Structure 1
């Protein structure tokens, strides 16, 4: 027998007949007419080359071949109903799985603490893996399923094939050690460009601020370039360095060391912080739950600051 010649709908008819032993009752259960059900039974007899169900005085009795097939067909029908046709779901309270989040170390500081608090209450067995990748690699990781979500500033993902959801708008802040006597609380453009700058470029990525300054033809005196924002906690104290960083980093670093905030003579560019996912994950229940959680925890109104 060639499986391609078997209509799977016939198995539904067989399963009902094996349980109900009646053409009328089978027709009623599967919402077919009696003639259509009789026709399906005729095709089943042809497929299996066996009468399958024989009319007696009280009901349709199964043949030995039908009795042999009945439990197998029932399992097949139930499997199709429960595992193939059933709408997928996700129960965070019972889930035991890991999600990979693409975000730089600023995201680890700003986005993850609140999410972890919610996970302890709602999904205690769910694990998160936060990784940082160059912008060019982020799209590939989401497309291949190596990452579930990207959270932060990823302008390269604003293209076809990727969904995005805004979390908040932010900007930059210029900071220095509170004891840095060479850094005035208000600087002219000349003073700012001539100061000793520490620049953070995670994974060597260019930042919106870099492009903003380059477009204006302004070049800073860069003394040190590093890859991790939170290294500022160790590098700023006792130094004459200044750093221009996203506002969330200034807030996080300011919780750990004493800072001086420097007012600059130009307007900083605005950052649109968003979360991104690949289109093939749009309807995945687990991914939908994950991005819903990140949105609820990290969405901010205009002007609202990071709360640690």
Structure 2
């Protein structure tokens, strides 16, 4: 008999097919093989196991005791492969207790989490959410390791071939002023933009850099009065000062709902940017990952 590491496990379905069909030709039909191929496989099994395995009898091919001993474990192995390996893992959002982890900036949290959490409370009430803010290389590692399910927002570094992405919607920028500010109208002039004091946010999120790079290309230098890494203090600062700040549009809309500020168009055309969800190709077919991607696409696709 061959050593265990030399035995061809692909031959086991032949044992089960012949045992249940009692015929080499019918076993070939069941397996979708040619009859000579089944005969060759049976001969390989006979050599490997040093046993005839099946002999002709009055009711067709009858298994020997050695073959009889193989039938039950072979049936169990093939059933487990079919149900546990080949079958797609089911995912039931209504009963899941899974924790979904998203790579989000703080403005990403403001944009995505309220609607997402409201949806999960209804459709996946036992699921939980974790938000992380990490450097780009750590996000890529987390997606590959499965520690992060999705990176959602503006992540221009996630372009390697191992990552998939889906555009959710296109975004732009808006400026904010105190609602009682002396500057009126729907758009601020370039003269006023250069004259006024600015608050600048230097957060870890990458979207803000689009606006900063645009100003650099146009050689526009503002009068920066405040530089901060935090978004959440901005609406209260703008509402109580004469400063102007420029932020992603969804953030500006949110701030306008919680503080006495108003939206005003910047003095130059700002290119739009896409907010996307990103995932690693390892989890492209994962049932839970597929479901949560579908939820985000449903809630936020333009």
TM-score by length of 2: 0.84
Aligned to 2:217: 215
Tell me what 1:70 maps to.
71
Decide whether the 8 Å contact of 1:177 with 1:259 is kept in 2: yes
Query: Quick one: structure 1 residues 220 and 138, their matched pair in 2 at CA, closer, same or farther if it must change by over 3 Å?
Result: farther
User: Partners of 2:265 and 2:204 in 1: how far apart?
Assistant: 28
Counterparts of 1:107 and 1:131 in 2: how far apart (Å)?
Answer: 11
Give the direction of change, closer, same or farther, for the CA distance of 1:32–1:140 in structure 2 (3 Å limit).
Answer: closer
- 1:19-42 Cα offsets, whole Å, 9 max, x none, are 344444433322334454344333
**Deviation of the 1:159 alpha carbon:** 5.1
In the TM superposition, 1:50-129 aligns within 5 A as 50-87=51-88, 90-129=91-130
Residue of structure 2 equivalent to 1:304: none
Distance 1:168 1:15 in 2: 54
Query: Per-residue CA shift, 1:71-130, capped at 9, x if unaligned?
Result: 212111222223333355544444442322122122212122222333234333433322
Contact 1:173–1:250 (CA under 8 A) maintained in structure 2: yes
1:266 and 1:34 mapped to 2: Cα distance?
A: 76
Cα 1:55/1:125, change in 2 over 3 Å: farther
Structure 2 CA distance for partners of 1:83 and 1:248, relative to 1, 3 Å? same
Could you tell me which residue of structure 2 aligns to residue 306 of structure 1?
none
Matched-pair contact (CA < 8 Å) for 1:185–1:261: no
Residue aligning to 2:193? 192
Shift of 1:59: 4.3
Q: Deviations over 1:135-156 (max 9, x none)?
A: 4543343344332222212222
- Moved segments of 4+, more than 6 Å: none
Q: Given that residues 185 and 260 in structure 1 are in contact (C-alpha distance below 8 angstroms), is that contact kept between their aligned partners in structure 2? A: no
Matched residue of 1:156: which SS?
coil
The residue number in structure 1 matching 2:12 is: 11
Alignment of 1:135-214 (within 5 A): 135-158=136-159, 160-179=161-180, 181=181, 183-186=182-185, 187-203=188-204, 207-214=209-216
Equivalent pairs counted in the alignment come to 298
Residue by residue, what CA displacement relative to the aligned partner does 1:226-253 show, whole Å, maximum 9, x if unpaired? 3332332443332333211111011111
Q: 1:138 to 1:34 in 2, by over 3 A?
A: closer
The answer to whether the 8 A contact 2:91-2:287 is kept is yes
Q: Give TM-score scaled by structure 1 length.
A: 0.82
Q: 1 CA distance for matches of 2:137 and 2:214? A: 20
RMSD over aligned Cα atoms: 2.8
Whole-Å separation in 1 of the counterparts to 2:121 and 2:96: 12
CA–CA distance in structure 1, aligned partners of residues 137 and 7 of structure 2: 48
Unaligned runs of 5+ in 1: 301-308
Report which stretch shifted further, 108-117 or 140-149.
140-149
- Verify the 8 A CA contact 1:27 1:33 in the aligned structure 2: yes
Counterpart of 1:253?
255
- Distance change (3 Å), C-alpha of 1:162 and 1:37: closer
Q: Which runs of 5+ in 2 are unaligned?
A: none
Match of 2:226 in 1: 224
